[in-house]
Structure 1
Amino acid sequence: MKSLKYIFLFFAVLSLSAQDVKSPKQDKLWNNFTYDLGNIFGGVGYAYSRPLHWQGNDFANFGYLTGSTLLLFTVDDEINDWTNGFREDVPNLVLDYGHEYGSPENNYMLTGGVYLAGLFTKNEKLRRTGVLLISSATAGGFLQQVSKRIIGRARPKSGANSSTFDPLHLDRVYNYDSFPSGHAMLAFSNAYAIAKQFKSPWVKVGLYTLGSIPGFVRVVDNFHWFSDVAFSTVLSIFIVESIDRYLDSKYDEKYNQTAKKVSWNLSFGPNTMGVSLRF
């Protein structure tokens, strides 16, 4: 429940910050805050309700994601053996970044900082980015906390193989909470949402790379199997895109005013599976 505590604490701190109003001018700040807070929770609800509105391509993509994840399950042990061969060669700086950046407390420090900067500088685009970051992190964070308890997959560090499960617990069972990866989901959600601020595909790819490091580190350090991270990364893209579309109807500042120059597609076929990026 640690991540859920950070979520509640974060919103409490945000509320206290915005309540410090002394003048009529700051009344607008409070109104903006309450409007944004409603959109944060509205975005979470919108993301969770999307499966009820899926059509043919949406079900196909979900099928591809599920099929690809199941196929990766079959090679998780081999990938883990491979990463064991170079674990000691990974620089400590990379390991520290990977573990710290994807943690809930650091995630909400970053997302909250972005939002508050936009709120107090009256920058709607930055406000919207903060709302997108917080809403995506909250939707993904709550989903992965619930999923860990339901699925109960053993972590590599437990010593069990990748097909070992202890499911259906109200509380997380130590070393049996591998799937999905919260660090990978939070880190890549942030990177993907921030990348929407930029038009250059090279800047986007650079941010995606930085957002992928925590997932890589969690695999290398035996906290997660590769399929945990792959599934979480793709799911974070779906969550951010869904909430971003919802926010299009709430703010004048939009990221989707022109046709997308960067697109993600799931690929699945003989001897191939994965996510392709086109720009």
Structure 2
Amino acid sequence: MPKITLSLLLILLLKVAPAFAQDSLFVAFNTDKKNTLWNDFTYDMGNVVGGVGFAYSRPLHWQGDDFLRFGGVAAGTTGLFLLDDEIRKALVSHKDDVPPLLLDFGYYSGAPQNNYGITGAVYLTGLFTKNEKLRRTGVLMIASATAAGVVQQISKSLVGRARPGAGFGNHHFKPFGGSSSYRSFPSGHAVLTFTTTYSIAKQFDNKWIKGGIIGVGLIPGLTRIYEEAHWASDVALSWAMSAFIVEAIDKYLDRKYEQKYNPDLAAKESNFEWNLTFSGDQIGVVLQF
């Protein structure tokens, strides 16, 4: 009996051991995968926080060209500020010619829940597919929207500029006014949509594709002028601020990730500039990227 029992135990062990080993390897593999996913996620979220802080600290490190760009943005914003009321009247006078679809797109695309839905989807796709390039893009979008979003919320209350629809004119300010009527600067819709589209546009080298994506990002800001929710100077400065933040965070992420969208763009610097132009009875904003 002992010999028979021992033989049976040996047979049982020979049968069970391989299966047990496979199960152990399977569990170990899943655990490693889970840990890797978690490590990637925590690393990325750390870079979101680090990127936001880096963007806020950049003005302390500005040099000659940076101050020239700042001066150009300040001059352009001042020019628009002086013409805000004329621009508002010109746009509102033909609002009926604007397709309602564009107005709806401008409103809903700038809503925070919709914007973060897009940025979150891009990031999670990169995270779960283990695509570092897509992860980096998602981190850039989330960090940029967060940094710009915090600035625009504080600025709205601090500046207290009256909205066009309030009827007080473009020179009326009430800092810490609290009321929605005094939250014209900057435009939250313009900030969020432009940080998102500008971040996406950086993934492409083709200027037509890049320009098309950025063009889509301009629509929400323009529609807010038509809706008399913001002045032209509010929107234009929101675009410039968003581009500055995206560029700053992108430079920070260069140190953190090996993959940077298209390989041919790795060595290129992307600078966003805009200038106010006059021609006869027309006024325009020229974007350079």
Corresponding letter in the other structure for 1:113: A
| C-alpha RMSD over aligned residues | 2.0
Corresponding letter in the other structure for 1:245: K
> Structure 1 residues 137 and 182, CA, compared in 2 at 3 Å: closer, same or farther?
same
Work out the CA distance in 2 between the residues paired with 1:175 and 1:250. 42
Work out the CA distance in 1 between the residues paired with 2:182 and 2:278. 32
Work out the CA distance in 1 between the residues paired with 2:225 and 2:92. 10
Residue number in structure 1 paired with 2:288:
277
Work out the CA distance in 2 between the residues paired with 1:253 and 1:112. 19
Structure 2 gaps of 5+ residues are: 1-29
Offset at residue 273 of structure 1 (A): 8.0
Is contact 2:247–2:271 with CA below 8 Å preserved after alignment? no
Is contact 1:68–1:273 with CA below 8 Å preserved after alignment? no
Structure 1 gaps of 5+ residues are: 1-21
Corresponding letter in the other structure for 2:87: I
Residue number in structure 1 paired with 2:267:
258
Question: Of residues 211, 216, 220 in structure 1, which corresponds to 2:222?
Answer: 216
The 5-angstrom pairing of residues 1-279 of structure 1 reads: 23-169=31-177, 172-255=178-261, 256-260=265-269, 263-267=271-275, 274-277=285-288
> Structure 1 residues 267 and 212, CA, compared in 2 at 3 Å: closer, same or farther?
closer
Offset at residue 258 of structure 1 (A): 2.6
Q: Which has the larger radius of gyration?
A: 2
Offset at residue 118 of structure 1 (A): 0.5
Give the secondary-structure state (helix, strand or coil) at the position aligned to 2:272.
Answer: strand
Is contact 2:197–2:214 with CA below 8 Å preserved after alignment? yes
Q: Relative to total residues, which structure has the larger helix share, 1 or 2?
A: 2
Give the secondary-structure state (helix, strand or coil) at the position aligned to 2:182.
Answer: coil
TM (normalized to structure 2)? 0.83
Work out the CA distance in 2 between the residues paired with 1:73 and 1:269. 14
Work out the CA distance in 2 between the residues paired with 1:90 and 1:235. 27
Corresponding letter in the other structure for 1:78: E
Question: Deviation per CA, 1:63-121, whole angstroms, max 9, x where unpaired?
Answer: 22122212211100011111111111211111110000011111110101110110011
TM (normalized to structure 1)? 0.86
> Structure 1 residues 215 and 276, CA, compared in 2 at 3 Å: closer, same or farther?
closer
Offset at residue 40 of structure 1 (A): 0.3
Offset at residue 263 of structure 1 (A): 4.6
Offset at residue 37 of structure 1 (A): 0.3
Work out the CA distance in 2 between the residues paired with 1:141 and 1:35. 22
Give the secondary-structure state (helix, strand or coil) at the position aligned to 1:100.
Answer: helix
Residue number in structure 1 paired with 2:24:
none
Work out the CA distance in 2 between the residues paired with 1:24 and 1:139. 33
Offset at residue 187 of structure 1 (A): 0.6
Residue number in structure 2 paired with 1:11:
none
